[in-house]
Amino acid sequence: MSAAPAPACPGPAGRPAGDVTVEAAPGVWVAWARTAAVSEHPADLADVRGRPRWRRRQSLAARGLLRALLAEVCPGTEGVALSADVRGRPALKGLPALGVSLSHDGPSGTSGDLGGDLVAAAVAPGRRVGVDVQLPPCPDVPAGLVRRCLRERAGELSSLPAGRRALEFAWVWTVQEACVKADGTGIAGRPWSLDIPVRPGTGTLGDLTWIALRHLSVHPVSCAFGDLRAR
């Protein structure tokens, strides 16, 4: 039996889902926000039960943004429960051809607000997709981590002033993370081993296309996507 086709997704027609909602590539929508309404979907609440309060807050905010983005670009799908596909990627139950991804970053703690958090979501009908957001390491990124993630490019990053170095490292890491999310490999995909240039813009990695949305966001946000049939 063939998989159900992706639903028709006409794209944004009203209020943006997050602080920013963009069509990063034809048919690939990404939204991100520093504040987002947390999801109250019963399945989402059940999924985060038992996690630390701050992790629940971040996860539900990311899911809330994803559902808002779905309501904006694929009306009628925002109430579908999330599950995971065979590779561990988030998926909408019964809609495997509608690619979705979400991300969050921020400090741990027990604060009840989202003042220090950043969340993102992506929707891509007929594609597999990954999105990642990162707040730059503060006050700087450890030299060992720079060498691990950038290898022969480490010198180029290390020559930058500390604040700029941390920001550009975060941009590289968002691309690396978005790629392994789109591929469904996660940490097992060794994101730190992916060859991404300093000051990334856009490029390809295997059968994936990646885009660092640096022309649209002051916060590091990147997405990656590929055809569903490609493995």
pLDDT, tens digit, 9 for 90 and up, residues 195-218: 999 999 999 999 999 999 999 998
Q: Which helix H or strand E contains 17, and what residues bound it?
A: none
Q: Which helix H or strand E contains 193, and what residues bound it?
A: none
Work out the pLDDT band at 188, boundaries 50, 70, 90: confident
Instruction: Name the pairing type of β-strands 208-212 and 221-227.
Output: antiparallel
Query: What percentage of the chain carries pLDDT values higher than 90?
Result: 72
Closest CA to 66 of 25, 94, 118, 30: 30
Provide the β-strand partners of residue 103.
120
Average pLDDT over every residue of 83-105: 90
Give the model confidence (pLDDT) of 98-154 as tens digits: 999 999 998 754 444 444 689 999 999 999 999 999 999 888 899 999 999 999 999
Work out the pLDDT band at 228, boundaries 50, 70, 90: confident
- Predicted pLDDT of residue 13: 61
d(CA 187, CA 171): 17
| More confident of the two residues 37 and 194 | 194
Q: Reply yes or no on whether the pLDDT at 32 is more than 90.
A: yes
Q: By the 8 A CB rule, do 94 and 104 touch?
A: no
| More confident of the two residues 43 and 85 | 43
Give the global pTM.
Answer: 0.90
- Predicted pLDDT of residue 18: 72
- In sequence order, the 6+-apart residues with CB closer than 8 A to the CB of 156 are 150, 198
Q: Reply yes or no on whether the pLDDT at 15 is more than 80.
A: no
Give the model confidence (pLDDT) of 145-182 as tens digits: 999 999 999 999 999 998 899 999 999 999 999 999 99
- Predicted pLDDT of residue 1: 38
Query: What percentage of the chain carries pLDDT values higher than 70?
Result: 90
The phi and psi torsions of 100 (rounded to 5 degrees) equal -135, 155
Work out the pLDDT band at 185, boundaries 50, 70, 90: confident
- Predicted pLDDT of residue 139: 82
Q: What is the mean pLDDT of the chain?
A: 89
- Predicted pLDDT of residue 19: 82
Work out the pLDDT band at 9, boundaries 50, 70, 90: confident
Contacts of the segment 208-214: beta carbons below 8 A, 24+ positions apart: 208/179, 208/182, 208/183, 209/25, 210/175, 210/178, 210/179, 211/24, 211/25, 212/171, 212/174, 212/175, 213/22, 213/24, 213/30, 214/171
- Predicted pLDDT of residue 175: 98
